[in-house]
A and B are shown apart, each in its own frame.
Chain A
Amino acid sequence: MTEPQFDPNGFFHFDLARGEVRSRDDGRVLIVTEAALSALIAIAVRGGDLTAVRELGNQLGKRAAAQMGKPIDELSPAVVVAHASGVVALYGWGGLRFERWGNAMVIEVEKLPPLDRENLAVAALLGGLFSTLGSRDVACVPIDGTPRYVMVDPSVAERVWGWSKNGDDLPTIIAKLSGMEAA
């Protein structure tokens, strides 16, 4: 079976005459600097509302899904994450790597943009991205002090986040989620 390959060629179209940047699916794109976005993110985190960033993740997910051309239930995790990573990287939010810890899915973000101290902005972006790809609500909880995010049901996200803030490392968190004692 031939797996679809992510093709970044021609993803953005720069129209200098009209002063527009458009993505392949004809959506208009605004390029924002890291410093400016960090300030906006800080305001959003203080207000406890990262809906806008999550919405950006939803849109990236749609673009990644359009590239795959097949339902994700027919594709391996590596292929899906490769497409998602390609789109996220084109928007400058870093590269994604997929890890499987038992039944838990973990995403590692390379070149994580330093937008907020607890990496909540990227967590919101990934949550929106994989919610769209998976057609269900997904929470990506950052593991404190690491560039990793564990995918969980939103109903348990706050508890997992609490474990991470209390110093539990990823193996311990996975063990707790799997109903096992930590090694």
Chain B
Amino acid sequence: MNAQVQRLEELLVRIERNRRYPRKPLGVNIPAMTAEQAVAAREVSPKPVPATASDSRPQTEHVQVSPKTEVAQAIAPQAPKTAEPVQPVVVVPAAVVLPVHAVAKVVSEVAKIDEPTFGQLLRRSLSLRPS
């Protein structure tokens, strides 16, 4: 008799628990998953459709990988990057860009230092011989 009463009480308790926490028809048994599996399952689950225009901008968040995968990538040798080479951006102040005639002037002034005297140039001219 006591045993029958006890089973009856247990049955009532289960009924009451099922009433309070009904089972999901296609749900995942979360308590049965590991913590990593639970995180991955949440990340790959479908996102809710944006409701407004402001929410329709491209998603910029990236897909998280599991901690185990991150460790594996950190240990594995990195493959050479094949991205396009970065072009350096050179910013030249306007004052640095000299006009051509200014450069020519500098060159001629430097050359003027080496200008020979009349006597030197005369000797060079007189030293010219037919090939």
Interface residues of A (CB under 8 A from B): 71-77, 79-81, 100, 103-105, 130, 133-134, 136, 138, 150-153, 156, 159-160, 176-180
Interface 0/1 of B119-131, CB less than 8 Å to A: 1111111111111
Q: Which residues of chain B from 72 to 131 have a CB within 8 Å of any chain A CB?
A: 115-131
Minimum distance in angstroms from B108 CB to a CB of chain A: 13
Please tell me if the beta carbons of A152 and B125 are within 8 angstroms of each other in the complex.
yes
**Contact partners of B117 in chain A: CB under 8 A:** 72-77
Other than the known A72-B117, A100-B121, A177-B128, what 4 A-B pairs have Cβ atoms closer than 8 Å? Answer: A73-B118, A138-B122, A138-B126, A176-B131
Interface residues of B (CB under 8 A from A): 115-131
Minimum distance in angstroms from B84 CB to a CB of chain A: 46
Contact of A159 among B121, B123, B125, B130 (CB under 8 A): B130
Please tell me if the beta carbons of B129 and A177 are within 8 angstroms of each other in the complex.
yes
Interchain CA distance A72-B121 in the complex, whole Å: 11
Nearest opposing residue in chain A for B131, CB measure: A179
Please tell me if the beta carbons of B128 and A103 are within 8 angstroms of each other in the complex.
yes
Interchain CA distance A150-B129 in the complex, whole Å: 13
